[in-house]
């Protein structure tokens, strides 16, 4: 088959989840430029399901996705702490104010409460906000789940198939890959992550200013090693986060460095900065940097995702700009977007979501 109802470009978490949802009612082609799906952002995520991550307008997507992720066994309870110093009191207050009434479960902790959870915490860190519902996500398992679900509904996955031409005609889209393969689709869906604006330009749509930002993560061997029940720890001022992983510590300097779309690699300066920041937080000795990596997190100008049909180019749809929250919101985001593209009624997962918040036409 070379003609499809939908051709989705990008087989990371975004493309795989949307393909699985669409394929229950339509024929779907999933096009991936790399040798395997999930090579870029999906395969490099230190993902967690954290109710407040991404801001108040992302919370509804996160909460709506939670039951699906739990029921399918992709979440492991972790808990999270946003920690602060005396000078960060205003940031802690503002955080509580921003997320009050969103449905996220958060509460304040004092220094004594903090020390029960982080006994080696240095003295200047004296307050925190707790998010007890935070959980680790089995990213690889979730991605494989969506690929398998799509395959069971007839999704065709083409890897090593970088799209080089997309021409709109009366019956839909004529698509050509780098290897010379040609396909026809009624609707072309942009799930290209860091390459979302490049794909839009290829298809004759107006790029929306989706910017890839590099994020660095390092795996450390520390003395003492982190306890397995250590919560995810985040700086309320945005300077770092860390969590345990199989007896090691995963640490990020929470960097957001603008980048062109690429196979991202960590910079030594960012690795050193991460370790220096950790030394100002907790009294552990770093024995070795065992692994380091970087990924690209792509944001629209207002840092909200972009879901739905392009307002100007017929048959072109967006499923992009999902930043660092795309994995934790994947179930609800994919279900909502499939309903928008297919013209289906909402179901219990998506009924409370405001699609206008994420619509492409908000950019004018």
Given 243, 277, 299, the domain boundary residue is 299
Q: Is residue 63 one of the residues assigned to a domain? A: no
Same domain for 282 and 162? no
> What pLDDT, on a 0 to 100 scale, did the predictor assign at position 170?
84
Confidence band of 47 (pLDDT split at 50, 70, 90): confident
User: What pLDDT digit, counting tens, does each position of 184-225 carry?
Assistant: 999 999 999 999 999 999 999 999 999 999 999 999 999 999
Which conformational region is residue 129 in: left (phi greater than 0), alpha (psi within -120 to 50 degrees), or beta? beta
Same domain for 145 and 125? no
Same domain for 352 and 289? no
Q: Is residue 53 one of the residues assigned to a domain? A: no
- CATH at 348: 3.50.50.60
Paired residues of 239 in beta bridges = none
Q: Is residue 179 one of the residues assigned to a domain? A: yes
Strand ranges of the sheet holding 75-77, from the earlier edge strand across to the other edge? 48-49, 135-137, 75-77
Predicted TM-score (pTM) of the model is: 0.96
Sign of CA dihedral 186, 193, 48, 248: positive
User: Considering its fold, how many domains does the chain have in total?
Assistant: 2
Separation of alpha carbons 341 and 208, rounded Å? 19
Same domain for 175 and 37? yes
> What pLDDT, on a 0 to 100 scale, did the predictor assign at position 40?
72
User: What pLDDT digit, counting tens, does each position of 278-324 carry?
Assistant: 999 999 999 999 999 999 999 999 999 999 999 999 999 999 999 98
Same domain for 223 and 290? yes
Same domain for 354 and 239? no
- CATH at 275: 3.30.9.10
Which residue segment(s) compose the domain that 325 sits in? Answer: 3-43+139-209+302-363
Same domain for 346 and 225? no
Q: Is residue 345 one of the residues assigned to a domain? A: yes
> What pLDDT, on a 0 to 100 scale, did the predictor assign at position 42?
67
Q: Is residue 51 one of the residues assigned to a domain? A: no
The answer to whether the CB of 282 falls within 8 A of the CB of 118 is: yes
Q: Is residue 65 one of the residues assigned to a domain? A: no
Given 281, 299, 317, the domain boundary residue is 299
Same domain for 313 and 168? yes
């Amino acid at each position: 088959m070379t003609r499809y109802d939908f051709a989705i470009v990008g087989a990371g978490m975004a493309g795989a989840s949307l393909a699985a949802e669409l394929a229950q009612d339509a024929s779907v082609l999933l096009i991936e430029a790399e040798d395997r799906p999930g090579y870029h952002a999906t395969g490099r995520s230190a993902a967690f399901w954290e109710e407040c991550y991404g801001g108040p307008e992302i919370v509804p997507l996160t909460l709506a996705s939670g039951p699906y992720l739990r029921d399918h066994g992709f979440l492991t309870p972790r808990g999270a702490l946003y920690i602060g110093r005396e000078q960060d009191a205003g940031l802690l207050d503002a955080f509580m104010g921003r997320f009050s009434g969103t449905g996220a479960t958060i509460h304040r902790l004092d220094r004594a409460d903090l020390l029960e959870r982080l006994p080696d915490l240095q003295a200047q860190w004296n307050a925190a906000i707790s998010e007890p519902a935070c959980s680790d996500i089995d990213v690889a398992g979730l991605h494989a789940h969506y690929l398998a679900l799509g395959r069971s509904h007839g999704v065709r996955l083409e890897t090593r198939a970088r799209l080089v031409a997309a021409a709109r005609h009366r019956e839909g889209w004529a698509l050509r890959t780098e290897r010379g393969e040609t396909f026809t689709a009624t609707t072309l869906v942009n799930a290209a992550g860091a390459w979302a604006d490049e794909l839009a330009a290829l298809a004759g749509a107006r790029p929306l200013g989706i910017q890839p930002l590099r994020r660095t993560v390092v795996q450390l061997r520390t003395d003492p090693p982190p306890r397995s029940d250590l919560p995810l720890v985040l700086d309320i001022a945005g300077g770092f986060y860390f969590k345990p992983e199989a007896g090691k510590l995963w640490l990020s300097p929470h960097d957001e460095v603008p980048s062109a779309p690429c196979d991202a690699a960590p910079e030594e300066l960012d690795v050193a900065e991460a370790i220096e920041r950790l030394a100002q937080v907790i009294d552990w000795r770093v024995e070795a940097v065992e692994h380091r990596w970087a990924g690209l997190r792509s944001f629209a100008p207002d840092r909200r995702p972009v879901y739905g049909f392009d307002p100007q180019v017929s048959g072109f749809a967006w499923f992009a700009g999902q930043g660092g929250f795309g994995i934790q919101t994947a179930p609800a985001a994919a279900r909502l977007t499939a309903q928008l593209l297919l013209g289906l009624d909402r179901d219990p997962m998506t009924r409370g979501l405001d699609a206008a918040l994420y619509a492409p036409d908000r950019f004018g």
